[in-house]
Structure 1
Amino acid sequence: MSRRVVCLRHGQTLWNAEHRFQGHSDISLDETGIAQAARAASLLASLRPSMIVSSDLRRAFDTASALGRLAGLDVAVDKDLRERGGGEWEGLTRQEISAGWPLEYAAWDAPGGEHVFDVAERVSSSIRRWAAELDPDGLLVVASHGAAIRLGVARLLGLPEELWSALGGLGNCSWSVLEEGRRGWRLLEHNAGTLPEPIQSDDSPEATQP
């Protein structure tokens, strides 16, 4: 029996479709995003989550609410699960950003935006805080944002900052699954769109022996 966390990225928005930097801008789900949230909810509800917590931005909260309705759970809100702040880049496309800030674009460091370490720290701390309220076999669903989840998961796993980019991004309404093991948190699935399956392998003490 172990605690698990599903980190769910929000559904598509118009700005996603237009490849605009969203950051803290409060953009709603579009029709595709609403359908994506409904599909994700239908799958994740079968896992019988114990708790659902969301970023305060509506694209994440509406995604979480679709699951909450099926699972019969209220959705808690935590501002620490917000996306990385984009400063002067919010609302701009990658082409506009690269043209206006070529050096900053190369480093992906928005003027007036948040540093990746600060995002990783607040998101991972939020996940730890909410997971601590779970029963030993509980499941927490965290509805958040692409960069926020990637950075928070990397920090939660204890990866050094220079390796954070080794974790790829998440598609809209895809998720990552974390499990609390004897030596801390471990990543079971990343950028998934299907339900997690039990794993038995030779590097696990729970593996079935021949």
Structure 2
Amino acid sequence: MCLRHGQTLWNVEERFQGHSDIPLDETGLAQAARAASLLAALRPTVIVSSDLQRAHETALALARVAKLDVAVDKDFRERGGGAWEGLTREEIAARWPEEYVSWDAPGGESVTEVAVRVGAALRRWAARLDDDGLLVVASHGAALRLGICDLLGLPESLWPALGGLGNCSWSVLQEGRKGWRLLEHNAGTLPEPVHSDDRPDVQV
């Protein structure tokens, strides 16, 4: 399960956060507590977070309820924003109009670099699970979206088709015989059984 961190002041101000270590605001702390109360019911067995405090605080909220420790892995950091960190979208568009269109920050990480970094970390931690284990990764919007795309083996041309994650929303993935499957994306309620002619209950 991939869990995005709660709200920060920079989220509200639409500032590029990247590797900047911004804490949760009051709303973000409440979001983390709500998510924790729901996700604890799924009985996670491993919780790991980015080393940035907004993700770590979100993970700690779940860990307190689930009575687990939180491991930290810097490979789950957000996409590095280079010269854009701390700036609003309007400021970025005014100073770097061409780069803004492609969303490539000078001195920042490319989407490919982030996808490979986060995807590899997801595989590494998932490989440590017992057969009935549940991993919760507390990380960041762009990092998780790109890591999920890598995990699913999507070609880069299709990455924009996967939407973003809201604050303290999550995505649920499961590994089957033919690879990884995305069961839920940008969810804020507990997963429910799916009854469909598509047979999503079958591991394919």
Contact persistence 2:13–2:88 (CA under 8 A): yes
Task: Select which of 115, 118, 124 maps to 1:120.
Answer: 115
Cα distance change, pair 55–205 in 1 and its aligned pair in 2 (3 A)? closer
TM-superposed deviation, 1:206: 4.5
TM-superposed deviation, 1:205: 7.2
Q: Give % identity.
A: 77
For 2:21, the equivalent position in structure 1 comes to 26
Using the alignment, how far apart are the partners of 1:200 and 1:187 within structure 2?
A: 16
Alignment of 1:77-88 (within 5 A): 77-88=72-83
Using the alignment, how far apart are the partners of 1:28 and 1:163 within structure 2?
A: 32
Using the alignment, how far apart are the partners of 2:69 and 2:188 within structure 1?
A: 23
Residue segments in structure 2 that go unaligned for 5+ positions in a row? none
Amino acid at match of 1:204: R
Using the alignment, how far apart are the partners of 1:55 and 1:194 within structure 2?
A: 23
Matched pairs, number = 202
For 1:71, the equivalent position in structure 2 comes to 66
TM-superposed deviation, 1:198: 2.1
Contact persistence 2:194–2:200 (CA under 8 A): no
Cα displacement string for residues 107-156 of structure 1 (whole angstroms, at most 9, x for unaligned residues)? 00000000101100010110110111111121100000000000000110
For 1:49, the equivalent position in structure 2 comes to 44
Task: Select which of 168, 184, 190 maps to 1:189.
Answer: 184
Structure 1 residue ranges, 4+ long, deviating more than 6 angstroms after superposition? none
Amino acid at match of 1:72: K
For 1:3, the equivalent position in structure 2 comes to none
TM-score by length of structure 1 reads 0.94
Using the alignment, how far apart are the partners of 1:64 and 1:10 within structure 2?
A: 8
* 2:124 matches 1:152: no
TM-score by length of structure 2 reads 0.97
* 2:98 matches 1:99: no
Task: Select which of 132, 154, 173 maps to 2:168.
Answer: 173
Amino acid at match of 1:157: L
RMSD: 0.9
